[in-house]
Structure formats: structure tokens, C-alpha cells
């Protein structure tokens, strides 16, 4: 029930007290934007052309004809004796690579934020869940704090990221971001420092 709980010994989950089950983890190459891509060797994403990065995924072996058959080791399907094939699944916190050339931080609630500084005076904020999938939670608010002044992040066109502007901001730039992910959660503080402008990862 809580895939973020991983231990190297048998025992019970500290959250729900259920017995832990074995899981196999593998370091593979995947696309920062297309997380369904899984390769054993470095290369480029066939969808967007970005260079693949290393992330951790769960590895199991499944039957092509019987989805309920999902084993931790290689072998044969107990139903029709077919050879099981490798199946990769996302793991919580298996990917902490920046997606847009910024600084990627895990929040205390296990979600993530990435701040970028793509151009003079402009700052962007991206939000991700525990699987590093982009989303903006309902009720999410964020701001840059400059002394006694707060500059709110506002949704950009398309809703992919939020953006704020600090007039006359110069490099190196240091910003303090305060974000509240949900109404009932506290406001968290994040500190970001930029020595250069952020650049989107290029194509291969």
C-alpha cells in the first residue's frame, strides 16, 4: 500500500503495519518527460529526442497473456508455461533528475518542485508528484519572498508551469520560494541559487 517504504530486511510497514513484500529495483535509462521509456543502455528518447537519464524502476516478470502473473524472478507462467517477460514500473522517488534544467527538490510531503531561471527577471516553478510526474495540486499556491515583499507565481499559458518576475534580478540570483501544496498543509520554504540561466535539456 505504501510503495515509498523500502527496506533491506523482512518486517512490517511503519505506516500501515502490513508485511513487507520483496521488490527488485533496477537502474535503467529513461526519458525525463516520457517516463514509460525504459532502456538498458544510454541513448535518446524516440519521442522527443532528449538524452536518456538514469532512474530507478521496479523490475518484475509478467506473463504476456495473464497480467495477474507478476513474479520477482524469471521463470514460466504457472498457467500456460509461457516465458515471463521483464516489466518495469515507476517507483516513488526513483527519479530526482531536473526536467527543465533547473534545481529539483523533494518537499517534506514527498512531492517535488523544480525552479528554473530561463531569462532575466523570469523564474518558473514546476511541481511533480512522488513519481516525478508533473501536476499542479488543487489549491497549490507559491510565491517568491524578497524582504517584506511577496511575488506570487502565476500559472503560465497551458498550465505546465508557474511563473514569477523579479524586475532587475541579476546573476547570480538567489530566491526564497514558499509553497503550499494543499489547503491543509503548511507552507514550505525552498532556497534556490542560480549562477547562470537555466537551459532546457537539448536533443541528442
Asked if residue 113 and residue 55 are part of one domain, the reply reads: no
Conformation bin of residue 122: beta by default, left when phi > 0, alpha when psi is -120 to 50: beta
In this prediction, residue 12 carries a pLDDT of: 82
| Grid cell for residue 164 | 514569477
Asked if residue 55 and residue 112 are part of one domain, the reply reads: no
- Alpha carbon separation from 189 to 53, 73, 127, 173, 202 (Å, rounded): 28, 43, 14, 17, 30
In this prediction, residue 2 carries a pLDDT of: 65
Final residue in a domain of this structure, among 64, 90, 116: 90
Asked if residue 116 and residue 38 are part of one domain, the reply reads: no
Asked if residue 129 and residue 77 are part of one domain, the reply reads: no
Asked if residue 122 and residue 62 are part of one domain, the reply reads: no
Contact of 80 with 65, CB cutoff 8 Å: yes
Q: What is the CATH number of the domain that holds 109?
A: 2.60.40
Residue 55, in any domain of the structure = yes
What does residue 25 show for φ and ψ, rounded to 5 degrees? -110, 145
Residue 121, in any domain of the structure = yes
Asked if residue 82 and residue 108 are part of one domain, the reply reads: no
In this prediction, residue 23 carries a pLDDT of: 81
Asked if residue 180 and residue 146 are part of one domain, the reply reads: yes
Contact of 136 with 180, CB cutoff 8 Å: no
In this prediction, residue 204 carries a pLDDT of: 54
Residue 75, in any domain of the structure = yes
State which H helix or E strand residue 117 sits in.
strand 112-119
Contact of 35 with 95, CB cutoff 8 Å: yes
Mean pLDDT by 10 residues, the chain (204 residues): 68 79 88 91 92 93 93 94 94 92 95 96 95 91 94 90 92 95 94 96 68
What does residue 86 show for φ and ψ, rounded to 5 degrees? -65, 140
| DSSP 3-state of 169 | coil
pTM: 0.81
Provide the domain limits for residue 55: 25-90
Residue 7, in any domain of the structure = no
Q: Is the peptide bond before 174 cis (omega within 30 degrees of 0)?
A: no
| DSSP 3-state of 41 | coil
Residue 96, in any domain of the structure = no
Contact of 134 with 160, CB cutoff 8 Å: yes
Q: Are strands 122-128 and 162-165 parallel, antiparallel or unpaired?
A: antiparallel
**Which among 14, 19, 18, 40 has a CA at the least distance from the CA of 29?**
40
The HSE-up count of residue 167 (CA atoms within 13 Å, CB side) is 1
Amino acid at each position: 500500500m505504501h510503495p515509498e517504504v523500502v527496506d533491506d530486511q523482512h518486517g512490517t510497514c511503519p505506516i500501515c503495519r502490513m508485511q513487507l513484500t520483496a521488490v527488485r529495483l533496477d537502474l535503467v535509462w529513461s526519458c525525463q518527460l516520457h517516463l514509460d521509456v525504459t532502456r538498458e543502455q544510454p541513448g535518446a528518447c524516440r519521442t522527443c529526442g532528449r538524452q536518456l537519464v538514469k532512474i530507478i524502476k521496479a523490475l518484475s516478470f509478467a506473463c504476456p497473456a495473464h497480467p495477474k502473473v507478476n513474479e520477482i524472478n524469471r521463470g514460466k507462467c504457472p498457467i500456460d508455461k509461457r516465458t515471463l517477460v521483464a516489466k518495469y514500473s515507476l517507483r516513488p522517488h526513483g527519479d530526482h533528475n531536473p526536467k527543465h534544467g533547473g534545481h529539483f527538490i523533494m518537499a517534506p510531503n514527498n512531492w517535488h518542485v523544480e525552479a528554473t531561471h530561463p531569462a532575466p527577471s523570469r523564474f518558473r516553478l514546476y511541481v511533480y508528484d512522488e513519481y516525478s510526474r508533473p501536476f499542479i495540486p488543487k489549491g497549490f499556491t507559491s510565491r517568491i519572498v524578497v524582504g517584506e515583499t511577496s511575488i506570487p507565481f502565476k500559472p503560465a499559458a497551458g498550465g505546465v508551469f508557474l511563473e514569477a518576475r523579479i524586475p532587475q534580478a541579476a546573476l547570480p540570483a538567489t530566491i526564497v520560494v514558499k509553497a503550499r501544496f494543499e489547503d491543509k498543509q503548511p507552507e514550505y520554504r525552498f532556497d534556490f541559487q542560480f549562477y547562470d540561466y537555466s537551459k532546457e535539456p537539448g536533443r541528442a
